[in-house]
């Protein structure tokens, strides 16, 4: 039997007061679904980094979670400036964060790199002045 759990969360751009709320909610869901700690940690990191990217750079976005017996799928879509050079943006330490964002302790340029590192499959596409789309897949392995 292939059990599927779905959740969609809206994320408001610029709202640092709520930073981490979506990832906390998803982490709780995964704990309730008895997801193995290693898989839960990787998923929480990928969601948190995605959420912070929406808050830091986009007007708004949505994080869609799908959990089935084989994998955790996170689909992230935002409406924002997009990414001009994805290859450059994927490099550790590269950041376009404003000074204000850096003063709050964000914008170290590790977000996309960390997301990819936590993913078993990772896809990114972006259109300048439209937004960015991430597809993150984390295999559940033997934790069924």
pLDDT for position 142: 60
pLDDT tops 80 at residue 106? yes
Q: Which CATH number fits domain 5-139: 3.30.565.10, 1.10.3720.10, 3.40.50.1820, 1.10.510.10?
A: 3.30.565.10
- DSSP letter at 98 equals -
C-beta separation of 43 from 74 below 8 A = yes
Taking residues 114-140, report their average pLDDT: 97
75 DSSP β-pair partners = 64, 135
Q: What is the pTM of this model?
A: 0.92
Question: Each residue of 41-76: pLDDT tens digit?
Answer: 999 999 999 999 999 999 999 999 999 999 999 999
User: What does the domain layout of the chain look like in residue ranges?
Assistant: 5-139
The per-residue b/e assignment along 44-61, b for 16 or more CB within 10 angstroms, e otherwise, is bbbbbbbbbbbbbbbebb
């Amino acid at each position: 039997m292939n059990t599927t759990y779905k959740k969609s969360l809206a994320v408001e751009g610029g709202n640092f007061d709520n930073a981490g709320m979506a990832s906390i909610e998803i982490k709780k869901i995964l704990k309730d679904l008895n997801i193995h700690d290693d898989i839960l940690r990787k998923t929480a990191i990928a969601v948190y980094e995605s959420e912070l990217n929406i808050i830091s750079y986009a007007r708004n976005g949505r994080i869609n979670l799908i959990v089935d017996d084989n994998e955790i799928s996170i689909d992230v879509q935002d409406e924002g400036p997009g990414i001009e050079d994805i290859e450059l943006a994927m490099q550790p330490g590269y950041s376009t964060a404003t000074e204000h964002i850096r003063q709050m302790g964000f914008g170290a340029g590790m977000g996309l790199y960390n997301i990819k590192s936590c993913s078993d499959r990772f896809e990114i596409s972006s259109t300048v002045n439209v937004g960015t789309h991430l597809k993150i897949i984390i295999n559940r392995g033997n934790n069924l």
